[in-house]
Copies of this chain bind each other. A is one copy, B any other.
Amino acid sequence: MAERLTPRAREIVAAARALLEESGAAALTMRTLADRLGIKAPSLYKHFPDKHAVEVELTAQMLAESAEALEAAEAHTPGSLETLAEAYRTYALAHPHLYCLATEQPLPRAELPAGLEDRAALPLLRACAGDLDLARAIWAFAHGMVILEIHGRFPADADLDAAWKRGLKVLHV
């Protein structure tokens, strides 16, 4: 499989990611992105058709990295739902802006590397012994916990560790 991006395009994505993680989605602007690279905004369009295409690359990064995190957890403690959940939560909370960007819009499946979506889902599916419905329920729970926490929807004094534990206990087969 050919490289998805030219070296310059990869530099741009790296700068975009730094900007996003440091300052949030609102700060990810074609002009500030260009600034950080020492060029002017219109030059970015020599490398990407539009801003969305840059965001798609960030989404692909997030998917690939969370897949790696889950695979590592699986390798460390095979079959453990708790370990998988811990890895998911840790990754998402370590990259909240990236997680939101990748998550709060329709998945641009056509523009993503083939197999990436499946790869990200497989460790959980294996831990569920192929039970698709259970895997989706657990994914929804984990995503819900993470996204509600990131957006500050839980009361400040909520014991989220306990809620995670409670949900996982009960979701475990």
Q: Which residues of A contact B (CB under 8 A)?
A: 100, 103-107, 131-134, 136-145, 147-148, 151-154, 158-160, 162-167, 170-171
Besides A136-B160, A142-B144, 16 new A-B residue pairs in contact (Cβ under 8 A), listed by A number: A103-B151, A103-B153, A104-B151, A107-B152, A131-B166, A133-B165, A134-B166, A136-B154, A136-B166, A137-B141, A137-B170, A138-B167, A140-B140, A143-B148, A144-B147, A167-B171
B139 engages A140 (CB within 8 Å): no
Task: Quote the shortest CB–CB distance from A46 to chain B (angstroms).
Answer: 27
Task: Sample 19 A-B pairs with CB under 8 A, ordered by A number.
Answer: A103-B153, A106-B152, A106-B153, A107-B151, A107-B152, A132-B159, A133-B163, A136-B145, A136-B154, A137-B141, A137-B167, A140-B145, A141-B144, A142-B144, A143-B144, A143-B147, A144-B144, A170-B171, A171-B171
Q: How far is the CA of A164 from the CA of B138 in the complex (A)?
A: 10
Chain B residue at minimum C-beta to C-beta distance from A161? B133
Instruction: Give the dominant DSSP class at A's interface.
Output: helix
Task: Quote the shortest CB–CB distance from A101 to chain B (angstroms).
Answer: 12
Contacts of A147 in B (CB 8 A): 143-144, 147
B167 engages A140 (CB within 8 Å): yes
A166 engages B144 (CB within 8 Å): no
A158 engages B144 (CB within 8 Å): no
Q: How far is the CA of A142 from the CA of B137 in the complex (A)?
A: 9
A163 engages B144 (CB within 8 Å): no
Known pairs A139-B144, A148-B140; A166 contacts B133 (CB<8 A):
yes
Q: How far is the CA of A105 from the CA of B24 in the complex (A)?
A: 12
A106 engages B136 (CB within 8 Å): no
